[in-house]
Amino acid sequence: MEIRKNIFWVGAVDWNVRNFHGHTYTTKRGTTYNAYLVVDEKVALIDTVYAPFADEMIEKISEIIPPEKIDYIIANHVETDHSGALPRLLERCPRAKVVGTQKCKEGLYKNYYGNWDFQVVKSGDSIDLGRRSLTFLEAPMIHWPDSMFTYCPQEQLLMPNDAFGQHYATSERFDDETDQCALMEEAKSYYANILWPLGSVILKKIEEVKKMNIPITMIAPSHGIIWRKDPARIVNAYASWAANKTEASAVVVYETMWKATEKMARAITQGLTDSGVRVKLYDIAESDRTDVITQMLEAKGFVFGSSTHDNDMLPALGGFLELFKGLRPKGRVAFAFGSYGWAGGAVKEIEGVLQEAGVETAMPGIGIQYAPTAEDLKRCYEQGKAFAEEIKRR
């Protein structure tokens, strides 16, 4: 698949992968591992694919040129979904030099223990391929310390590895060919679940690239669809998410034992709804964590509830909040609620996580013993309404 004259997509579509990074990310639409082959006087491959797809990639390359002819393999990122095919490929092209950052060199060694010919590059370094060249831009923590972007000035093509990617398996390769809703939903999910805590680094990098004033007419990430119709669309979306732009909406996430906490969750949700705040309600024991975090990305308010069990919150919410805490969301407001039998504990534990995550507890927690009365539910409803006003006010 030629994406520009003599630049080929030689990646793989992983239609059936449903869990990624262990079980931290649900890839309900599968994913792709994108590798790009630049055929010039010299030949460069930008990134590889996950190891189980090595043969598929090598076959695609072989249809274009003998793999032995590859001079450079650019490793933008050490993570195994992009470097996994490297050992196999290097058996076929022992002449090739691997190119990446110092941290990438160290990381690749610690993953594969190969003594490969490695060229360390820094921001601004470039490699001449003949008619074209490749210039590198280090991008630490977008999203690992080793990450870097590769830019081909003659083609105005940016290959930023995981940045601007989506876990989205498709037969089509370009943004103008695919379902727009699915594309943006997966791009948002990717940002929320992987890049959310790195917003400050991302904003700075976007500014840096804008100041460099380099034309970019195509962004080819390492997962999913290539942005060619409107690359600015995804850059602007990233700038907005990274700046923590939110809307007056809320997400209620709870776990319940005997439905008392669920009744409270519904009353709070009704209060928010009646005050004109868009709200999503999730029983986290039944819901997909990746989806919930995606919905939280643009919401201003979060409400977390759990029954008390062994003086603590329930385990599905506990696991979810552990994930949530690592996202360190900025500029959000929240409160906790839940039903308990005797001593209680869940509300306090949730508030502790909020503090650790740097999220402001904007309202007192609501704890209710056993099943809520009509009066208790009225209180939950009223707090939902008050929280809606708080969300609108901020």
Partner 1 sequence: MAKYRCTVCGYIYDPQKGDPDNGVKPGTVFEDLPAGWVCPECGVGKDMFEKV
Closest approach, Cβ 147 to partner 1, in A, equals 9
Query: Catalytic: 309?
Result: no
By the rule CB under 8 A, 14 interacts with partner 1: no
Please report which residue ranges of 309-373 form alpha helices under DSSP H: 315-325, 346-357
What's the token pair of residue 389?
């006003």
Closest approach, Cβ 105 to partner 1, in A, equals 13
Q: Are 329 and 296 in contact (CB under 8 A)?
A: yes
- H/E stretch holding 208: helix 199-212
Closest approach, Cβ 142 to partner 1, in A, equals 10
Query: Catalytic: 79?
Result: yes
Determine the angle formed by the axes of helices 260-274 and 374-393, rounding to 10 degrees: 40
> Annotated catalytic residue: which of 82, 223, 376, 381?
223
Tell me which of 138, 186, 255, 376 binds partner 1, using CB under 8 A: 138
How many whole angstroms separate alpha carbon 101 and alpha carbon 83?
A: 14
Nearer to partner 1, 21 or 122 (CB): 122
Closest approach, Cβ 243 to partner 1, in A, equals 16
Q: Are 126 and 133 in contact (CB under 8 A)?
A: yes
Q: Are 246 and 332 in contact (CB under 8 A)?
A: yes
Per rule CB under 8 A, count of chain residues that contact partner 1? 10
Q: Are 225 and 183 in contact (CB under 8 A)?
A: yes
Tell me which of 28, 69, 97, 103 binds partner 1, using CB under 8 A: 103
By the rule CB under 8 A, 201 interacts with partner 1: yes
Helices (H) and strands (E) in the chain, counts: 12, 22
Query: Catalytic: 167?
Result: no
How many Cα atoms sit within 13 Å of 69 on the Cβ side? 14
By the rule CB under 8 A, 28 interacts with partner 1: no
By the rule CB under 8 A, 349 interacts with partner 1: no
Bridge partners of 98? 73, 118
Nearer to partner 1, 148 or 334 (CB): 148
Tell me which of 133, 200, 217, 361 binds partner 1, using CB under 8 A: 200
Q: How far apart are the first and last CA of the chain?
A: 49
By the rule CB under 8 A, 145 interacts with partner 1: yes
Closest approach, Cβ 198 to partner 1, in A, equals 7
What's the token pair of residue 114?
């190969």
Query: Catalytic: 162?
Result: yes
Query: In this chain, which stretch among 49-57, 108-116, 136-144, 172-180 interacts with partner 1, using CB under 8 A?
Result: 136-144
Q: Which among 330, 175, 137 has a CA at the least distance from the CA of 242?
A: 330
Residue 109's contacts (CB-CB under 8 Å, 6 or more residues apart) are none
> Annotated catalytic residue: which of 33, 40, 50, 77?
77
By the rule CB under 8 A, 140 interacts with partner 1: yes
By the rule CB under 8 A, 321 interacts with partner 1: no
Nearer to partner 1, 205 or 379 (CB): 205
- Asked if the peptide bond before residue 167 counts as cis, ω within 30 degrees of 0, the response is no
Query: Catalytic: 77?
Result: yes
Q: Are 384 and 272 in contact (CB under 8 A)?
A: yes
Nearer to partner 1, 141 or 357 (CB): 141
Query: Catalytic: 223?
Result: yes
Nearer to partner 1, 126 or 200 (CB): 200
How many whole angstroms separate alpha carbon 51 and alpha carbon 192?
A: 26
Closest approach, Cβ 7 to partner 1, in A, equals 28
Closest approach, Cβ 241 to partner 1, in A, equals 16
What's the token pair of residue 231?
């690359």
By the rule CB under 8 A, 198 interacts with partner 1: yes
Bridge partners of 260? none
The residues of the shown chain that bind partner 1, judged by CB under 8 A, are 103, 138, 140-141, 145, 197-198, 200-201, 204
Q: Which residues are catalytic?
A: 21, 77, 79, 81, 143, 162, 190, 223
